[in-house]
Amino acid sequence: MTQPFDVETFIQARKRTRVISDLLRTRASDHLSTLAPLVRPQPLFGEYLQGAPRGSGRESQHHFKAFRALFDKHAGAAPFNLMNELDIPLNVISSTPVLFALEYDIDLTPEERISVISPVRWVVGYSSFDLSRFREVINDPNRSSSELQRFVVHYLMLFHCFSKADGLGRLLRDLRFPISFQRLKGFGDLPFCVMGSPIDATLPDEGIIRQSTEISGSHSFEELIDDTAIDTMQDDLREQLLAAIRDMPTRT
């Protein structure tokens, strides 16, 4: 049964979601900024990166070979279909990671598609390479192949650096803002770094989504954070400590 659309309740849910989301995003951005030196490409790639100091020859070569294989795997495939090869040294314009909104589509009907925004998960990208602009370039029939290649290189560079940062994943999980690697619709098999948070958000009944978008005239909708989300937050360390105590052998 479709839930009735209560405008006042919906408005309060949107306000609550926005307040919590803003606080979480600020905290996530702070963590990302503090840990940014751990995922800078310069120490990994050394002389293979334009303007970077010379690194360890063997290690830099290893990272470049791994990155070139990654680029060859994804750049020539749909939807990019790039024929260009990598230029050496690599020209990385920006190495400052930032957060972009995570969006996905749902179909309310075969003719009605809604873009959904997550208030508690974000795509990690570089400051000069906005995710929405990346989508525009991919879908532009007159796109510049060089601009598209720059986007592919930078997002793959970020993925490579995060995947090679030993211990960073555990640290971010302990901070309650875990990093995962995901594919996004419209970007083929390109892997993206997605930062989560300690709270979940969900979609209400489709009837509420439909009525909200009809009233607003928009084709986008933001997930909502439930009243009990904060009360049900879990502390992984607390649970591990309690489990350790429970599993202690009893004296005989």
Residue 56 pLDDT: 66
Residue 1 pLDDT: 37
Torsion sign, CA atoms 3, 9, 11, 13:
negative
Residue 27 pLDDT: 97
Residue 73 pLDDT: 96
Angle at Cα 156 formed by Cα 152 and Cα 161, nearest 5°?
Answer: 155
Q: How far apart are CA 154 and CA 160, in angstroms?
A: 10
Q: Which of 4, 30, 28, 19 is nearest to 224 (CA)?
A: 19
Q: Which of 224, 211, 220 is nearest to 6 (CA)?
A: 211
Print pLDDT tens along the chain (252 aa): 355 667 888 899 999 999 999 999 999 999 999 999 999 999 999 999 988 777 668 899 999 999 999 999 999 999 999 998 898 899 988 888 999 999 999 998 888 889 999 999 999 999 999 999 999 999 999 999 999 999 999 999 999 999 999 899 999 999 999 999 999 999 999 999 999 999 999 999 998 898 888 888 888 999 999 988 888 888 888 888 899 999 988 765
- Contact criterion met (CB below 8 Å) for 131 and 97: no
Residue 39 pLDDT: 95
Q: Which of 153, 151, 161, 145 is nearest to 129 (CA)?
A: 151
Structural domain boundaries in the chain: 7-246
Residue 234 pLDDT: 83
Q: How far apart are CA 92 and CA 90, in angstroms?
A: 6
